[in-house]
């Protein structure tokens, strides 16, 4: 049921090598090619250390590839992209700003209109269960709440592409399910293109049009799965045989790659 639009992002032949302080050279990614259609929700799963965060940083223009190139909206990515929203593995909030001010940082940086953004911020905060916390400071929030503020901040300037690096990793299981549903709602309402990194096979299959499975380091793409279930999806879907088939196949693939 993917209604994929035109190509938004095309990454070809990405390789990334890091030089460690001990003078060794690590190949984090090898020959990785990914394309994202406008409006598509694509997840990446793979073992720890296989280069998922690296791939996201390359796409965001924060880290430069050792080989290959990334084309976003027809242009080669050479530096950090303003049109992308990024959620990092751990929340990076400014401790001296309130929740609302933190959410509005991209608006300030991009010099966008504050009044409509504030209204949108309140709507999004409500969607993630943070109404009433607008004037709190990050130190007054739990880790999971801070992460939710980070997610709202990544959406506030209505980015064309949302890059999310294990955004729900720090959340408890129940909040995680709620956040998956909230993200699905946001995605259905705005049809953002989302590139979503997760350790959870269930989350990946539940949310995505496509799931990319990566091998252990050096990270390569092992296989891609197209997930056909219509939306909106609810968690009952996860107990169906069809859903289980996808989850099992991905788990086996990952198991095989980790054991090698």
Ligand X SMILES: Nc1ncnc2c1ncn2[C@@H]1O[C@H](COP(=O)(O)OP(=O)(O)OP(=O)(O)O)[C@@H](O)[C@H]1O
Residues at the site binding Mg ion, with contacts judged by CB under 5 A: 52-53
Classify 79 as helix, strand or coil: coil
| 26 interacts with ligand X by CB under 6 A | yes
Q: Measured between alpha carbons, how far is 250 from 204 in angstroms, rounded to an integer?
A: 10
- In the list 18, 97, 105, 158, the residue contacting ligand X (rule: CB under 6 A) is 18
Spatial CB neighbours of 174, under 8 Å, sequence gap ≥ 6: none
Spatial CB neighbours of 58, under 8 Å, sequence gap ≥ 6: 11, 14, 16, 29, 64, 65, 70
Stretch that binds ligand X, among 50-58, 97-105, 120-128, 179-187 (CB under 6 A): 50-58
Residue 54: contacted member of ligand X, Mg ion, none (CB under 5 to 8 Å, by partner type): ligand X
Sites for ligand X among residues 199-238 (CB under 6 A): 217
Residue 32: contacted member of ligand X, Mg ion, none (CB under 5 to 8 Å, by partner type): none
Q: Are 161 and 192 spatial neighbours (Cβ–Cβ below 8 Å)?
A: yes
Residue 51: contacted member of Mg ion, ligand X, none (CB under 5 to 8 Å, by partner type): ligand X
Q: How far is CA 101 from CA 106, 136, 153, in A?
A: 10, 10, 10
Q: Measured between alpha carbons, how far is 52 from 60 in angstroms, rounded to an integer?
A: 12
**Contacts with ligand X, 165-204, as mask; x by CB under 6 A:** ----------------------------------------
| 54 interacts with ligand X by CB under 6 A | yes
The owner of tokens 């990405």 is: 14
Instruction: Kindly tell me which of 52 and 153 has the beta carbon lying closer to Mg ion.
Output: 52
CA 66 to chain centre: 22
Residue 20: contacted member of ligand X, Mg ion, none (CB under 5 to 8 Å, by partner type): ligand X
Residue 49: contacted member of ligand X, Mg ion, none (CB under 5 to 8 Å, by partner type): ligand X
Partners of 165 in beta bridges = 197
| 75 interacts with ligand X by CB under 6 A | no
| 50 interacts with ligand X by CB under 6 A | yes
Stretch that binds ligand X, among 45-53, 129-137, 179-187, 233-241 (CB under 6 A): 45-53
Spatial CB neighbours of 150, under 8 Å, sequence gap ≥ 6: 87, 88, 91, 92, 93, 167
Instruction: Kindly tell me which of 18 and 137 has the beta carbon lying closer to Mg ion.
Output: 18
Instruction: Kindly tell me which of 39 and 61 has the beta carbon lying closer to ligand X.
Output: 61
Q: Least CB distance from residue 63 to ligand X, whole Å?
A: 8
Q: Which among 221, 84, 95 has a CA at the least distance from the CA of 158?
A: 84
| 20 interacts with ligand X by CB under 6 A | yes
- In the list 48, 75, 139, 239, the residue contacting ligand X (rule: CB under 6 A) is 48
Q: Measured between alpha carbons, how far is 216 from 162 in angstroms, rounded to an integer?
A: 25
Interface with ligand X by CB under 6 A: which residues? 18, 20, 26, 28, 46, 48-54, 217
């Amino acid at each position: 049921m993917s209604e994929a639009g035109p190509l938004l992002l095309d990454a070809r032949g990405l390789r990334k090598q890091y030089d460690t302080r001990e003078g060794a050279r690590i190949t984090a990614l090898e020959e990785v090619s990914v394309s994202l259609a406008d409006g598509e929700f694509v997840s990446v799963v793979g073992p720890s250390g296989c280069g998922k965060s690296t791939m996201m940083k390359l796409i965001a223009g924060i880290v430069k590839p050792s080989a290959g190139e990334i084309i976003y909206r027809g242009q080669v990515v050479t530096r950090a992209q303003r049109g992308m929203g990024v959620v990092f593995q751990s929340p990076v909030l400014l401790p001296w700003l309130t929740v609302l001010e933190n959410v509005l940082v991209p608006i300030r940086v991009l010099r966008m209109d504050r009044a409509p953004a504030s209204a949108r911020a309140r709507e999004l905060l409500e969607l993630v269960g943070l109404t009433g916390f607008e004037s709190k400071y990050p130190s007054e929030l739990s880790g999971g709440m801070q992460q939710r503020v980070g997610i709202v901040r990544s959406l506030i300037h209505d980015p064309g592409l949302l890059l999310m690096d294990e955004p729900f990793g720090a959340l408890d299981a129940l909040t995680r399910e709620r956040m998956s549903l909230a993200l699905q709602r946001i995605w259905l309402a705005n049809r953002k293109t989302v590139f979503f990194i997760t350790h959870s096979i269930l989350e990946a299959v539940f949310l995505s049009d496509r799931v990319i499975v990566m091998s252990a380091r050096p990270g390569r793409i092992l296989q891609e799965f197209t997930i056909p279930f219509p939306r909106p999806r609810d968690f009952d879907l996860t107990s169906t045989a069809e859903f289980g088939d996808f989850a099992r196949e991905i788990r086996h693939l990952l198991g095989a790659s980790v054991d090698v």
